[in-house]
Structure 1
């Protein structure tokens, strides 16, 4: 077999990343699970790979870990190509969705396991275990408890402790919070953020949960059908989605398809259904263009009478879902031949609506994202 071709690196890069995924592709027969993806991971960064089920994010993580080998491209760790290295030579910590703790062992034995595999001096192991238990905020006297006697949250902390006790170059998290209930998941999100801040670990985290990604990540890599849709800081991903997929996947978003009817300076009117939608443009739209418009649910105003907005339409409330801190409305807009999602957090009785109410729905041109179809 011919030797693997390692892609050339950019010699002008300002800062060498701890991990570099460089034009990586993974094929399984005719199926392309990951397609020409490049992601640099910075020292001390919390990077989340986000996407729906089957997007290729776990395959990408497994290639970083060494469980899978790229079909094309290369992965570098500390500037070293590692595709031909086994997992145990990569100095990587791992936490899986299943946690993969040893149920027949105590907390101490679970955490000590990777240290013993690395032939650490026995006299050093106890001290390291106590340090890491303090970091994950488990009482030191828990080290003698059988791991099966712990709660789900406590087991999660043991799994994190075991993954970082040997001070890995990189920590990989494969949907570790997905099996937890809502309250515990929120608690562990906060704990992970704290641990990252206190240790400055470089973390690559995989999830399909956008709330997890937005709340924890420094940057997010959005993956769809094996390809990288956008790589940017969390706030930028939400405020400036680069593609229709990112706009629809991140947040509660309604998509409208239409054709540009006219352009007037920085404004354009898009024909949607039997009406028009005003949008902002930087000059990239011309009459006749097919476009997709993305609307965030929280940017849409509802009123029993009228709304002060660039776009306003007669509408009917079809569904109401009260969620405590907010209310979700599903609203039919006949003139646009569509149904839109609306999120309201205002407790004012005048802005509370019931199923069947006739309302006005509206939003400003500046609150839309516009993409080529």
Structure 2
């Protein structure tokens, strides 16, 4: 069983520029956010990750001031802000839809928050030029109408407008989901670069695991309104604390079984009509367990601690990898495998008999509750 102790330096509220403290949001009988506490450090990029309906956008809206917590409090720079309107929170916000003013030029869009702050024309011109350079848009784009730009260029303008006045906090509400795959990858890299150069504190909401893993310092996984796990990215992936996190982060097959035998080092788990060997320490104190197998941990045509005859059900060639779904007669459901060794050749075809396996230490185990 994976266990984790939070780093006290990470969760110490004295280091937090933003602190979500025991926040709950109810809409009648519906609890959208349930007693969530997340400290966010100065300069940190934190992603709130979860499936649709998990409560992550509601949480972001409470930070922004569009919603008020039913209970709990949100602090920015140690000041409670739940009763403060959005415009008094010193927050930049980037939406999925960009939310640019279509009748304005690029410069007019970016300069809008500066004009609201009654900054001088000289300051506005300098800051707009600086932020255009930061988001890598040519200065001569300043006078272009925003509706003449591509989707990626409009996204850069939206980022520029959100950060031009150097807010305490930048909120990103699924800002890349409307872009195509190549452009999303490009903008992920740009966001990471902008974060590194500006040292802004960023809270990012998404349901996309790849976005979260590639950009965030820490990830808060939200499920049914509650906080499932909060950890640095590498720790979260390597040591998911629950079967839900193991399944949601990465490419994982969950198998349900019962512990039937234990020795000093290993235990036997009955799964379907078969068995597998797992770490005895991982099942300590549990009889019904969930076994999580990462797709990249399963080996094809190799002898492992747990090896089975299987049949290839599906083959998906993805360029740098081939993904297989294989059926093992003893188990349900099909097992997912990611093979990066085949280069540009697909080794196996649908219907092929194969052997598959994994070692004892490659399985993650959780109590079946």
Give the TM-score normalised by structure 1: 0.93
Q: How does 1:181-192 map to 2 (within 5 A)?
A: 181-192=180-191
Change over 3 Å in CA distance of 1:14–1:165 after alignment to 2 = closer
2:208 corresponds to 1:209: yes
Q: Secondary structure at the match of 1:251?
A: coil
| Conserved? CA contact 1:302–1:351, under 8 Å | no
| Over 6 Å off, 4+ runs | 348-351
Q: How does 1:272-311 map to 2 (within 5 A)?
A: 272-282=271-281, 284-286=283-285, 289-303=287-301, 307-311=302-306
RMSD: 1.5
| Conserved? CA contact 1:263–1:269, under 8 Å | yes
| Conserved? CA contact 1:266–1:283, under 8 Å | no
| Deviation at residue 349 of structure 1 after TM alignment | 9.0
| Deviation at residue 302 of structure 1 after TM alignment | 1.4
| Conserved? CA contact 1:94–1:172, under 8 Å | yes
| Conserved? CA contact 2:252–2:292, under 8 Å | yes
Q: How does 1:184-263 map to 2 (within 5 A)?
A: 184-263=183-262
| Conserved? CA contact 1:312–1:363, under 8 Å | yes
| Deviation at residue 278 of structure 1 after TM alignment | 1.1
Match for residue 3 of structure 1? none
How many pairs are equivalent? 358
Higher mean alpha-carbon deviation, 262-271 vs 130-139, is at: 262-271
| Conserved? CA contact 1:274–1:337, under 8 Å | no
Q: Aligned partners of 2:59 and 2:65: how far apart in 1?
A: 10
Give the TM-score normalised by structure 2: 0.94
Q: Aligned partners of 1:370 and 1:283: how far apart in 2?
A: 6
| Conserved? CA contact 2:321–2:343, under 8 Å | no
Change over 3 Å in CA distance of 1:361–1:41 after alignment to 2 = same
Alpha-carbon displacement from aligned partner over 1:110-134 (angstroms, at most 9, x marks no partner): 0010011111122211011001111
Match for residue 96 of structure 1? 95
Q: Aligned partners of 2:63 and 2:367: how far apart in 1?
A: 34
Match for residue 315 of structure 2? 320
Q: Aligned partners of 2:168 and 2:213: how far apart in 1?
A: 24
Change over 3 Å in CA distance of 1:114–1:355 after alignment to 2 = same
| Deviation at residue 337 of structure 1 after TM alignment | 3.7
Change over 3 Å in CA distance of 1:283–1:217 after alignment to 2 = closer
Change over 3 Å in CA distance of 1:166–1:334 after alignment to 2 = same
| Deviation at residue 285 of structure 1 after TM alignment | 2.1
Q: Secondary structure at the match of 1:69?
A: coil
| Conserved? CA contact 1:260–1:289, under 8 Å | yes
2:354 corresponds to 1:355: no
Alpha-carbon displacement from aligned partner over 1:98-121 (angstroms, at most 9, x marks no partner): 010000000010001001111112
Alpha-carbon displacement from aligned partner over 1:288-338 (angstroms, at most 9, x marks no partner): 7100000001111112xxx22110111111111111111111100011243
